[in-house]
Structure 1
Amino acid sequence: MIKFGTDGWRAIMADEFTFSGVRKVAAAIACHVNAHGGAQRGIVVGYDTRFLSDRFADAATTVLMSKGIRVLRTVRDTPTPVVAYAVRDTGAFGAIMITASHNPPEYNGIKFIPEYAGPASPEITAEIEGFLSDVEDAGVDCACDGTKARKEAPAAIGTPNSDLQPETFDPAGPYLKHMQTLIDTAAIARAGIPLFYDAMYATGRGYLEALLSNANLTALHTNRDPLFGGGMPEPKEEFLSELIARVVEAKGFGMATDGDADRFGIIDTNGAYITPNQLITLLLYYLVEYRGFKGAVARTVATTHLIDRIAALYDLPVRETPVGFKYIGECMRKEQVIIGGEESGGLSILGHLPEKDGILACALAAEMRTIVGKPLTTILEDLAQKVGPVYSRRIDLHLDNVRKNALIERIKTAPPANPAGLTVLDVKTIDGVKLILSRNSWVLMRPSGTEPLVRIYIESETPELLENLIQTMKDFAAK
Structure 2
Amino acid sequence: MAIEFGTDGWRAVIADEFTFDNFKIVVQAIANYLNNNDKTDRGIFIGYDNRFLTEEFAQTAAEVLEGNGIEAIIAKEALPTPVTAFTIQEEELDGALMLTASHNPAQYHGIKFIPEYAGPALPEITDQIEEEVARVQKTNEINIKKLDNIKEIDPRAIYLDNLREVIDFSQFETGKLKILADPMYGAGLGYLTDIFSTTRIDTEEINNYRDPLFGGGMPEPTEAELTQLINKVKTEDYNIGLALDGDADRFGIITEEGEYLSPNQVLFLLLDHLLEDRGMTGGVARTVATTHMLDRIARKHDLDVYETPVGFKYIGNKMLKNDVIIGGEESGGLSIKGHIPEKDGLLACVLIVEMIMSRGKRLSKIIQEVEEKYGKLISERLDIECSPEQKPEVVKRIEEFDAEKIAEQKVIERITKDGMKFILEDGSWCLMRPSGTEPLIRIYVETSNHSLMSKIQSDVRERLKI
TM-score range, shorter chain: over 0.9
CA drift at 1:161: 6.3
Tell which deviates more after alignment, 106-115 or 249-258. 249-258
Tell which deviates more after alignment, 104-113 or 392-401. 392-401
Amino acid paired to 1:178: N
2:208 counterpart residue number: 222
Moved over 4 A (4+): 160-165
Give the one of 195, 199, 205 matched to 1:211.
Answer: 195
Contact 2:421 2:429 in 1 (8 A): yes
Contact 1:70 1:166 in 2 (8 A): no
Looking at structure 1, the residues matched to 440 and 342 of structure 2 have their Cα atoms a distance apart, in angstroms, of 26
SS in 2 for 1:380: helix
CA drift at 1:162: 5.8
SS in 2 for 1:293: coil
SS in 1 for 2:208: coil
Amino acid paired to 1:267: I
Give the one of 320, 324, 335 matched to 2:322.
Answer: 335
Looking at structure 2, the residues matched to 237 and 339 of structure 1 have their Cα atoms a distance apart, in angstroms, of 24
CA drift at 1:434: 0.2
1:145 counterpart residue number: none
SS in 1 for 2:130: helix
Tell which deviates more after alignment, 79-88 or 374-383. 374-383
* Counterpart mapping for 1:80-99 below 5 A: 80-99=81-100
Looking at structure 1, the residues matched to 360 and 402 of structure 2 have their Cα atoms a distance apart, in angstroms, of 46
CA drift at 1:203: 0.5
Matched, 1:182 2:169: no
Contact 1:407 1:477 in 2 (8 A): yes
1:171 counterpart residue number: 155
Amino acid paired to 1:368: M
Matched, 1:54 2:41: no
Contact 2:24 2:142 in 1 (8 A): no
CA drift at 1:419: 1.4
Per-residue CA distance 1:203-248 (angstroms, 9 max, x = gap)? 0012111111132111111110000111110001111122112222
1:150 counterpart residue number: none
Tell which deviates more after alignment, 2-11 or 290-299. 2-11
Looking at structure 2, the residues matched to 354 and 306 of structure 1 have their Cα atoms a distance apart, in angstroms, of 22
User: CA 1:163–1:275 in structure 2 vs 1: closer, same or farther (change >3 Å)?
Assistant: closer
Amino acid paired to 2:228: E
SS in 2 for 1:216: strand
Looking at structure 2, the residues matched to 395 and 75 of structure 1 have their Cα atoms a distance apart, in angstroms, of 40
User: CA 1:140–1:336 in structure 2 vs 1: closer, same or farther (change >3 Å)?
Assistant: same
Looking at structure 1, the residues matched to 63 and 127 of structure 2 have their Cα atoms a distance apart, in angstroms, of 24
Looking at structure 2, the residues matched to 7 and 280 of structure 1 have their Cα atoms a distance apart, in angstroms, of 21
Contact 1:68 1:164 in 2 (8 A): no
SS in 1 for 2:25: helix
What CA RMSD, in Å, does the superposition of the two structures yield over aligned residues? 1.6
* Counterpart mapping for 1:48-447 below 5 A: 48-141=49-142, 165-213=149-197, 214=199, 215-248=201-234, 249-447=236-434
CA drift at 1:38: 2.7
TM-score w.r.t. the length of structure 1 is 0.93
Contact 1:6 1:111 in 2 (8 A): no
Matched, 1:32 2:33: yes
Matched, 1:3 2:4: yes
CA drift at 1:454: 0.8
SS in 1 for 2:381: strand
CA drift at 1:384: 2.2
Contact 2:122 2:313 in 1 (8 A): yes
Looking at structure 2, the residues matched to 239 and 67 of structure 1 have their Cα atoms a distance apart, in angstroms, of 42
Per-residue CA distance 1:392-425 (angstroms, 9 max, x = gap)? 1111121223433323322433434321110000
Amino acid paired to 2:409: L
Unaligned 5+ segments in structure 2 are: none
- Number of residues of Structure 1 aligned to a counterpart in Structure 2: 462
Contact 2:422 2:429 in 1 (8 A): yes
Amino acid paired to 2:166: L
Contact 2:7 2:437 in 1 (8 A): no
Looking at structure 2, the residues matched to 6 and 35 of structure 1 have their Cα atoms a distance apart, in angstroms, of 23
Give the one of 456, 459, 464 matched to 1:472.
Answer: 459
Looking at structure 2, the residues matched to 113 and 77 of structure 1 have their Cα atoms a distance apart, in angstroms, of 17
CA drift at 1:137: 1.4
User: CA 1:392–1:344 in structure 2 vs 1: closer, same or farther (change >3 Å)?
Assistant: same
